[in-house]
Structure 1
Amino acid sequence: MSTAREQLDLFVALVGDVPLRDDKEMMSAPMVSIAKRGQRRIEWEGPSGQQVVITSTEGDDIATIWDFDLVIWAISQLNAAVERDETPAQTISFRPYDLMKSIRWCDSMGRVGGREYERFKAAMNRLRATRIRTTIRRHDRKDRHEDFNLVSDFTFDEIKDADGHARPLGAQITIPTWIYRAVTGSRKEVLSITPLYFDLTSGLDRFLYRLARRHAGNGLNNSDGWAFSFRDLHRRSGSQMRYADFAKALRKAIAAEKIPTYELIEEGGANSDPLLRMRYRKLLL
């Protein structure tokens, strides 16, 4: 049984549909791998000198953009509490079943089974081991270096079913202070995202949607959208693909038109480096 003090330090997750939110700065810089496996390090320097270095404290693969669904869920939960004028604790208590249903980690019938629970635990382990060192939240402190793991702490209780498969009953996740402040601080740094994001099966498509949402916005203030060079996108994605292969994958993504609410258009650029324009497409909302 938890103590009164432990209860005060917990935020009990809301059940049901919660408006989705993502961390604005994490939508613009590489913070996870867009490959499903095999990436152990990412280094990136932004146009203003911002730096990101991503490694695993376990010497294993870093977290993927699919693993990051769990962080998006946590950000959304905290933001929902803030919008109700509450001050949520940094540690969230929840049922893994409810979390996975809300981010569509279930089969075609909407069922959550042993396969999904194993995926959940593996993702949490990678998030817990993924270490970020960065200077991207600069504000007035130009050289502020920050170091954190994508999940600060994670615990869960399990029970074995009749087949001997362990399934989590309840769990707690502690969000790193770096993300927590972005959601709950006076300068909230989160953006809404569409639930259709969870239906994207390509890591590149997910990266492009988040980048478009961050920079092209809702089309009100920048009707022409936002353009990035192919080479800048290659660096921002953190992809291990050769540039030529990345450019080919990018053109396939443009042709497929799977990015929710945004259209992607290739344009000519300087020095034989083509541009990708991201533009809000209202009819897709």
Structure 2
Amino acid sequence: SPIGSCFGVTSHLHFDRHVQRDFFVADILDAAPKDDLASMEHPIFALKSGDRRVRVYERKGVTVTIKPGHDGCATIHDKDIWIYCISQMVEAINRGREDVGRVVRFTAYDFLVTTNRQTSGEGYRLMGDALARLSGTRIETNIETAGKRERAGFGLIDSWRVIERDRDDKMVAVEVSLPDWLCRSVKAMHVLTLNRDYFRLRKPIDRRLYELARKHCGTQSKWCVTTKVLHETSGSRDALRNFRMAVRMLAESDELPDYRITFDQENDAATFYARSPKGAIAQIRDTLRSLQK
């Protein structure tokens, strides 16, 4: 069951809130979800809401400093707005539009439906909170985008504004200005397609693990990584033992979109197998090798 089981075990996936979509909206939502490679590789977004710490991440010559705003750090759930805007930009580029810039205008309802959020007043309020955190969170980094590496600071979004409200003062249309750094990355097509079920993942750590698997495994048959490295690249602030448990729970649920996870206790490592014929073959071969030891 997507909500739970008869034994009271909660699924890692939310139920699909918008299975019955009207035809007009479904046509608008055809743009495949896209994410930028840099933010998939590096832990820019907080995994816990209310995080007000300055976070510094350094790995392989890349430094990222994340500074919270008045409303706290933007979370990985807030990143849905980034993903939605990136998706709209890529779709426009693929359709040959030449006016694609860093200002993206969209309807709030379409965003809420695409990202599997509630379309009640609470859904609109939470969207406004996410926009405020994205605008307030500041990043300083030397990540290279589109062949350009520079030390730069910017907000996760430069600005946002409501350009239309309904008679209940609920936001209808929104305009978001993305940072140049992200715009360069998107125009260089440094993006990857996400499974739509990404938006159904409940836990922030599950979303982050999916991002890392999508970035490092991609369409290969498998990706092996030690728990220590996975913990570091995830940006998790949990103790390593708690993080290890989270990975094992996700592996046992077998609910991660696109990938299966196996956990090697002896080597303290995880292997992500693509849910594809070659991924299944790789998993069978690895299982047979372990049995022969």
The reply to whether TM is greater than 0.5 is: yes
**Structure 2 equivalent of residue 4 of structure 1:** none
Q: How many residues align?
A: 251
In the alignment, is the contact (CA less than 8 A) between 2:145 and 2:181 conserved in 1? no
Letter in 2 for 1:229: T
Counterpart of 2:21 in structure 1 is none
SS in 2 for 1:40: coil
1:56 maps to which of 68, 91, 112: 68
Matched, 1:94 2:106: yes
Task: Note closer, same or farther for the CA distance 1:254–1:116 as it changes in structure 2 (3 Å cut).
Answer: same
Unpaired runs of at least 5, structure 2: 1-26, 280-293
Superposed, 1:1-285 pairs within 5 Å as: 15-46=28-59, 48-58=60-70, 60-87=71-98, 88-106=100-118, 112-137=119-144, 144-157=150-163, 159=165, 161=167, 166-185=169-188, 188-219=189-220, 223=221, 225-267=222-264, 274-282=268-276
Structure 1's unaligned 5+ residue stretches are 1-13, 107-111
Change in 2 beyond 3 A, CA 1:139/1:127: closer
Secondary structure (helix, strand or coil) at the match of 1:170 reads strand
> Are the aligned partners of 2:108 and 2:173 in contact in 1 as well (CA < 8 Å)?
yes
SS in 1 for 2:28: coil
Tell me how far apart the structure 2 counterparts of residues 150 and 140 of structure 1 sit (CA, whole Å).
Answer: 20
Give the CA deviation at 1:39: 4.6
Residues 282/175 of structure 1: CA separation in 2 closer, same or farther (3 Å cut): same
Contact 1:127 1:151 in 2 (8 A): yes
SS at match of 1:166: coil
The Cα of 1:251 is off from its aligned counterpart by 1.6
Q: Judge conservation of contact 1:42–1:55 (CA < 8 Å) in 2.
A: yes
- TM-score w.r.t. the length of structure 1 is 0.81
Distance across 1 between alignment mates of 2:233 and 2:106 = 33
Give, as a single letter, the amino acid of the residue that structure 1 aligns with 2:254. Answer: E
Q: Distance in 1 between matches of 2:229 and 2:237?
A: 14
Q: Which moved more, 1:243-252 or 1:168-177?
A: 243-252
C-alpha distance 269-184 of structure 1, shift in aligned 2 (>3 A): farther
Q: Distance between the aligned counterparts of 1:75 and 1:139, measured in 2?
A: 15
What is the deviation of 1:250? 1.9
| Amino acid paired to 1:249 | A
Deviations along 1:16-64, one digit per CA (max 9) or x if unpaired, are: 3211110012111101012233353321111x12111111233x42011
Deviation per residue, 1:198-234 (Å, 9 max, x gap): 0100111101111111110112xxx3x2222212222
Q: Which amino acid aligns with 2:187?
A: T
Change (3 A) 1:79 1:160: closer
Determine what percentage of the aligned residue pairs are the same residue: 27
Contact map agreement 2:157 2:176 (CA 8 A) in 1: yes
* Whole-angstrom distance in 2 between the partners of 1:174 and 1:181: 13
Pairwise CA RMSD of aligned residues?
2.2
